[in-house]
Structure 1
Amino acid sequence: MNSAGPEANSGPAERVTRRMKEDELTRVGLGDLVKMPKRILSALTGPIPVTRSQAIGVSERLSAVTALTSSLEYLAQRKQFRRGGLNHWPTMARGVQGPPVFRKLLNAISREKVTTGLHVARIAVGAGLLLPGQARWRGAGNLFLGVTTAALYPRHRYGTDGSDQVSILVQTATGMARLSTRPQTQDALLWYVALQANASYLISGWMKLLGRTWKDATALSGIMRTRSYGHEPTFELTKKYPKAAKHLTHGVLALECLFPVVYLAGGRLARPVIASAGVFHVANGLVMGLGRFVTAFTSMHPMVAYTSTPRTHPSVADRDDRFLFVGAALLAGAASLAGVVAAQRRMRTLEGWPHSSYLTTRHGNELQYQRSEGDDPALPVLVFVNGLASTSEHFAWITEKITQESGYGVVTYARAGYAGSKYRSTAPYCLAESVDDLVDLVRGVVPEGRKVVLVGHSLGGELARRAAANMGERTQGIVYLDSSHPDELNRSNQQNKAAESVAVLMNTMARSLNAGLGILLARPDWLEALPASCRTRVFAQYTDARLWEAGRREWAVVQQEFRAFDGTLPAVDAHALVISAQQTVDRDPEQLLMHNEIAEMHRAEGRYVESVVLEGADHDSLLTSARFATEAGRQIVAFLDGTQAADAPQVRVTEEAGQ
């Protein structure tokens, strides 16, 4: 037996050939190993090529699952339609506004049998849309789901969590795309949904950046510990692995803020970004119980994939992208219009009233004010101090009541940065600066020797209290209108929890309005309750970033100073009227205790002190509602008359001593 191996039976030429083949195989193996990471990277990155038909088909089926799921959920929870349930229509209908025809239609749809019938029909249509096919009847089915989702939305506004709005968008767009025979129209609709998807992620992400919890990565653990969306096992994991939770939180933030990068570099980031967004929604469904979010938001992803694929790819070679350019042109036009509207509102904000005057304070701030002398120069002048992110026109009902039914003088003004007042101080802001401005205003505007009554709402009440200490005997009294207390952030759990929300609101409004989004703001209900002569001017201030920037500056300092308060209110040698809004003290009894403390610091021999709870009023309607504000004005006039009577014996004693 020959044991020398195969090479012993072969010639030199064969051995050389065999070795060359072995070397070639070795090189091929090494080449595959070198190319493996590139292949993996190529599989994980790049566009997601889907055709127009595929994008419409996948989107409509995912949206159909959303409709099917929601209707099955509502039918399984029919007890919520009845008395005591979250969706009991007679209870919910009280808060519905709109034309009578709209309300009648809602009442008809919201009958239990009609609502049940619509949900049964939606289940049938949704199940039908899950079947294979490209027939045009599917367009009618999608539109039916979109219309009924919109019609039932007011009926089920508790529990929708935003998924219904996305469903309406996708169902309407896919329905119209199915019914259209023009590829250009279909592409325009797909682009419309894709841009809406990008906007939803982008805006959500950048809005999160306005809050502290997302930036310091405590948002995830905070959400997981809530009753509505919390998940205890996940919360425990965030405590056990804080670094991982931090990276995950910042990762979600980056995903939302940077979602439009799917359109960059030839769509190379489309796969990881869209896949990450899908995982994000699946996690929300599993952990937070937002099951409908999974199919609702991912139903927009096929359209994002379709529009982010380069047109050089065969699957989208015939795509019509003109809608993108039309949208850009419309956006540019809307931005120009928003800029013009913002400029007009800024001019209206700055110009003030025809009788406005100006005074420069020791800090260089220029205050815009309005003054009414009153009928009797012997009577005190009332100086009104507005609250945080509020206007001097909020006192309109009260000042109207006082000027018409008494002889007292009235001064209203805007703090530095509000309305037409200019903030020009170069030193770091503190509340003492606003107090100094108020003192300078009184000394510069109210005639020497004439007494002053300070009237402050909310934060304005605290500023009035501090200013009174600097004005000495000129302060006859202070009226506190649902006033702030310097210890409220420490003592009131409700106020403490709301502090972060207030900061986020100020940041959101300031940045949104600076971005020109004021044109999108609707007129709030409280605005329509103000006197008609004030509404346009107040709305101009409300939609101007200056008011919110001033409020943001003040609120940052308020939080610092209030949290550092030592808990002792010094006595104030002046008469006092403390008016509390009933809804304020009912929601937070600690507020009533603090308002009582404000009244107590004024109690002394010869001082007239009253405390009133205005029944039915809340913190804002105390000023904006004609009924509540007029009653507050009546209380103020009665209080002023009481202070005159309280001071009268002292005047007589002084005169007798002089004789």
Structure 2
Amino acid sequence: MSLKKVFNEDGYLRGVSAQQYPPGSVRHRLGRVLDHPRTPKILAGVTLAASAGLPLARGNRKLQIAAAAIIGTCNRLSEMRTPYGRDGADQMTAVITQYRLLTALIADEQKSDDIFLRAVNFQAGLSYAVSGISKAFGSSWLQGDALPEVLQTEAYGRGPAAEILRRHPKLCRALTVGTVAWEAAFPLIYTLPRLQATYALSAVKSFHVGVAATMELPRFVWGFFGSHGAVGYALDTRGEKRTFEKSVLGISAGVTLASALIAREKRKIADQRRLGPKGAKRLEGDFGVVEYYVNHPPGGPDQSKPVVVLECGLGQSLESWEWVAGRLAVNYTVVRYHRPGYGFTKSRASSGDLVAAILDELGAAGEVMIVTHSIGSLSAASYVTDPRFTDRIHKLVIVDGTDPDLLGADRSDRRRLGKFIQAQVHTLFAAVTGIYEWAPNSVERQAGYTPDAQYAHVQFVFSPRNIVNSVREYTKVDTDFALANLRKVKSTLLIASGENAEQQSLLAEKIKASFEVIDGSAHRSIIGYKNYAEQVESAVRRFIDE
């Protein structure tokens, strides 16, 4: 309520809810009211009044539930007004008020209150544990850098306590690592005797008070203290039947198992399709097995034109090139393949060996043009100077390619590498549990292929084996001579996504490539969305004809 400028139309907590609706519509007009700079203060005032009403209405269950409803509604309106700027305390407050409303529907007051307290307790234990485990996968937390970085921000580093911590970096780092340890270990509190559990809860309260004082976030006290009473209730009733906890754990385990099995079966179906008569081909030889797909022009292979070889991005499937390959195949033979470790490719050979084997199988002895996406540019760099290809590869197209210098820097920086590993672990978790089948994911948001291709692509990307292999490729792919090798190609075109245009322009300068930008596209959508892919294909076709 003491903040002013941050809620103005030029402030970082300005309202943005009206932007998603057409101007003049009812929702847009309501959004404009919600986005007004005075609205947050009104919501805060109403929340404060309702919060004061909770203790004043002690013993009056209906009034307390009504106060909880008001607090929850104000919290939700604040989230709608500004989708950022929320934190764990806001989320916990929302959980408590929403659980109170849901359990109020139970007619038996004693049973209603019991389920409410057990639900909040379950949420509190889960929140602390998940927070700690999640932090453990973040290199900035394990290395002790997270809290110092937070205290450097304008929003959370202005107070005197923050200044004291900044002057004692060793203490700050110890607190950062300690936070990971105690949060992940929070469920152990339920195994302690009641007195020791009380001491542990008091220590947790001290932590929240410290956070509130350091970051000037008093709601951290109220948001989490509100759940500790429920934890105490669960500790006091440990001898009773835990039907609620058993039900929640049983349902959660059942849903997770069912989700995992469904996802596993869908991946099996995708693999069976690949093994079918219309699926990709497999070539066996001394090099092992390579999975590949060939698109020929309607009239058959044309030896007078170059064969176009498409290199996939990190962890991406053959289907990721579906739109581009289909259009190029009108005039050219187009080859896609999976590098070692991906899909059905089981080989320790180099990318150059696999490409050479596929071209020999096709009887293609003429010119070859390489088109790469993402880290596929480094795969191409490993063989464009190979004697088997130097007289055949005269043109190279890089679509939003990986800069070897940047990749080398990322891999040598523990924090950047840690962030990449963390992202892959999250993806692996989603793959194993099957969560990706039920929740929006970045793969589907940045790809819009035909249904069959989309199905195969999503199942491929969320295959645990392919996820693990993408980590291997990311950490092992050679970057030492990549720039020098790419510069040796006679003519190179770099096509950048709008998202990475600036960084890609620097890469184009390094390899002396022509440069084009597909406005509005992102790293994956540049070949995943049909309209962007068509622009990529047109640029490739113009480049071939030059």
Q: CA shift at 1:633, angstroms?
A: 0.5
CA distance in 1, matches of 2:407, 2:446: 28
1:517-596 alignment runs, 5 A limit? 517-524=435-442, 526-527=445-446, 529-558=448-477, 561-562=478-479, 568=484, 571-586=487-502, 588=503, 591-596=504-509
Matched, 1:347 2:265: no
Matched, 1:501 2:424: no
Please give the secondary structure, in 2, of the residue aligned with 1:384.
strand
- Aligned counterpart for 2:290 among listed residues 367, 370, 379: 367
Matched, 1:234 2:187: no
CA distance in 1, matches of 2:291, 2:218: 54
Question: Any gaps of 5 or more consecutive residues in structure 2?
Answer: none
Specify the alignment match of 1:131 in structure 2: 56
CA distance in 2, matches of 1:373, 1:203: 51
Q: CA shift at 1:118, angstroms?
A: 4.3
1:18-417 alignment runs, 5 A limit? 72-73=1-2, 76-77=3-4, 79-89=5-15, 91-94=16-19, 106=31, 109-110=34-35, 117-131=42-56, 133-135=58-60, 136-177=62-103, 180=106, 181-225=108-152, 229-230=156-157, 231-238=162-169, 242=170, 247-267=174-194, 269-312=196-239, 321-353=242-274, 354-360=278-284, 364=288, 366-374=289-297, 375=299, 376-404=302-330, 407-417=331-341
Count of aligned pairs? 528
- Whether the aligned pair in 2 keeps the contact of 1:214 and 1:249 (CA below 8 Å) is yes
Please give the secondary structure, in 1, of the residue aligned with 2:305.
coil
- Whether the aligned pair in 2 keeps the contact of 1:201 and 1:259 (CA below 8 Å) is yes
- Aligned counterpart for 2:523 among listed residues 613, 616, 619: 619
Q: CA shift at 1:479, angstroms?
A: 0.9
CA distance in 2, matches of 1:565, 1:208: 36
Provide closer, same or farther for how the CA distance between residues 594 and 226 of structure 1 changes in structure 2, counting only shifts above 3 A: same
Provide closer, same or farther for how the CA distance between residues 444 and 186 of structure 1 changes in structure 2, counting only shifts above 3 A: farther
- Whether the aligned pair in 2 keeps the contact of 1:187 and 1:320 (CA below 8 Å) is no
Q: CA shift at 1:371, angstroms?
A: 0.7
Give deviations 1:75-121, integer Å, cap 9, x for gaps. x42x44443233443x5543579xx9977765564456766654443
Going by fraction, where is helix more abundant, 1 or 2?
Answer: 1
Alpha-carbon RMSD across the aligned residues, in angstroms, is: 3.3
Q: CA shift at 1:467, angstroms?
A: 1.9
Give deviations 1:327-354, integer Å, cap 9, x for gaps. 1220231122122222123213423542
Give deviations 1:115-166, integer Å, cap 9, x for gaps. 6654443332222223252202111111121123123312032322233221
Please give the secondary structure, in 2, of the residue aligned with 1:394.
helix
Q: CA shift at 1:635, angstroms?
A: 0.9
Provide closer, same or farther for how the CA distance between residues 119 and 143 of structure 1 changes in structure 2, counting only shifts above 3 A: same
Identity, % of aligned positions: 23
Q: CA shift at 1:481, angstroms?
A: 0.7
Q: CA shift at 1:260, angstroms?
A: 0.7
- Aligned counterpart for 2:401 among listed residues 483, 486, 494: 483
Provide closer, same or farther for how the CA distance between residues 345 and 235 of structure 1 changes in structure 2, counting only shifts above 3 A: farther
Provide closer, same or farther for how the CA distance between residues 246 and 148 of structure 1 changes in structure 2, counting only shifts above 3 A: closer
Range moving further from structure 2, 483-492 or 191-200 = 483-492
TM-score of the superposition, structure 2-length normalised? 0.85
- Whether the aligned pair in 2 keeps the contact of 1:380 and 1:452 (CA below 8 Å) is yes
Please give the secondary structure, in 2, of the residue aligned with 1:453.
strand
CA distance in 1, matches of 2:116, 2:495: 56
Specify the alignment match of 1:460 in structure 2: 376
CA distance in 2, matches of 1:582, 1:311: 57
- Whether the aligned pair in 1 keeps the contact of 2:17 and 2:82 (CA below 8 Å) is no
- Whether the aligned pair in 1 keeps the contact of 2:260 and 2:432 (CA below 8 Å) is no
CA distance in 2, matches of 1:205, 1:101: 43
Provide closer, same or farther for how the CA distance between residues 226 and 416 of structure 1 changes in structure 2, counting only shifts above 3 A: farther
- Whether the aligned pair in 2 keeps the contact of 1:345 and 1:543 (CA below 8 Å) is no
Provide closer, same or farther for how the CA distance between residues 355 and 529 of structure 1 changes in structure 2, counting only shifts above 3 A: closer
Provide closer, same or farther for how the CA distance between residues 225 and 367 of structure 1 changes in structure 2, counting only shifts above 3 A: farther
